[in-house]
Structure 1
Amino acid sequence: MTETMIGVIGGSGLYDIDGLENTAWVDVESPWGTPSDQILTGSLNGVKMAFLPRHGRGHVHSPTTVPYRANIDALKRLGVTDVISVSACGSFREEYAPGHFVIVDQFIDRTFAREKSFFGTGCVAHVSVAHPTCPRLGEACHQAGQAAGITIHKGGTYLAMEGPQFSTLAESKMYREHWGADVIGMTNMPEAKLAREAELCYASIAMVTDYDSWHPDHGEVDVNDIIKTLMGNSEKARNMIRGLPDLLDHDRAPCPHGCDRALDFAIMTAPEKRDADLVAKLDAVAGRVLTA
């Protein structure tokens, strides 16, 4: 039986977790580069936790320059089993109002300037991301959010844009009216894809800060308004996270949805043709199957 370790990747406005015991900020070396920041480790109600500020403390990384591969690899090296992504977003739905949370279960990836896979020439792999988030973990987040008194919507499609600029009005209308997106953000891709490659259960919590630019009564996105909403959302997120350990057992059974076995049939390159240097870099992410 594997011991549960919850990894929280905090987005804009969320730079720590309240209530952690035996805390330490630790450096984790990764062959994929330097993570966004040190990782805060500790425990909450007897369950191990790790917290990584996605943009770094002080918000030093733009959405494009976040070292996504290093972040996911570092969490896997620490022993994280379940990743909770918390991020700010805009809403394309009237009913998903600023201050509400959305449990994302689908993505449209419109990013184009980021490394999106741990695998490549010398070790090719194809994982399924048809269902890119873990329903078990998403349900736990939903329950924790409700218990914390948050207005939280279960299910939604997240449009991941490159940024750092916000959408044009034409783009916002297209994403909402023709593409069926529910929320928009800049950071959940390739993070979700990399978590799947690393065989980590992944849940995405989108914290609504604004209505993007489509809403006729709200106008274009205003950063000052976003920051005000972010502060309230961050406190709500901390309250939600505090409830997660009681919903995720200390001893972790295999994921019923197979997230932790995503690489079982994914690697295509024959063993004798694999690049030794790349295989060495994959020791944490794919060691379970590469050393089998």
Structure 2
Amino acid sequence: GNSHRTQFYINGAIQFDTIDEHRYHESLVHPAMLATPRHENILIIGGGIAGLSLAHKYIHDRRWNNRIQLTLMERKDRYGGRVKTMRIPKEHQGDGRANEWYEAGASRVAQLHHRVRDLAKQMQCKELVLPASYDQHTNIQHLHKIFHFQKIYQDFVKEHGEYGLRSVSWMDVMKMMCTTETYIKLMRDWGFQAVLREMNAYDFWHYARPQYLSDTYYTYENGLQSIIDALVAELEASPLVSLQTHTKVLNIQSFHTPQTNQQFNQQLNVSYQHDEDANLYHT
């Protein structure tokens, strides 16, 4: 099949398909913009990759980019959210280390995350394929081979039937079909325990497991933070955007004022604290 397409099912019902993921994300933005009469001031709260990429989308979308003023507020002293690349100080570089940076947050981008990869390509970040020995990917392949996941699956289905997988998690299956020692090792080495615990075993076996076994992972030259840095640099250079760190949103108040007998103009007051000063953002 198409290695760039992933589907997520719960109890046999499709919940998510990466082939039309963009429809979901765009439906969060454009209807709200089209339904409101005023678009002069836009506030984005949070400077992670989601907030930054949303701001990037606004300033490049012809429907909005010539008539908006966008403010992005981030409560920390840095942008990136879960993405945090640590740079090795120059005085310690060149001593045989393979890289001059390491990831302290998100560590990779999966092949199926094609929208993140497309964004990185737009920002001219150099994509690097992670080596086959890279942590989780190799661990899962090793576990599948050594501990005979296929046999665990076959033994369970033989006793309980294929339909029985829908009523238990894969964690439950391993508890039932493995020795305690093997179960503990599987849980420790797999890593993503939430998948084993929260997804029913049928969905895990048929949809999640094949993806984990076959996926390719990527990073970017100078780390994932390079995507964040490129987004921030672009937004800082735009006259349409104001970026603020050390800014904590305290309260959001929405109210309507009448324009005509039939129409009301929605306004938003956001109280926030920048460093030690209290301020009010008004739309």
Q: TM-score scaled to structure 2, two decimals?
A: 0.22
| Between structures 1 and 2, the one with greater helix share | 2
Q: TM-score scaled to structure 1, two decimals?
A: 0.21
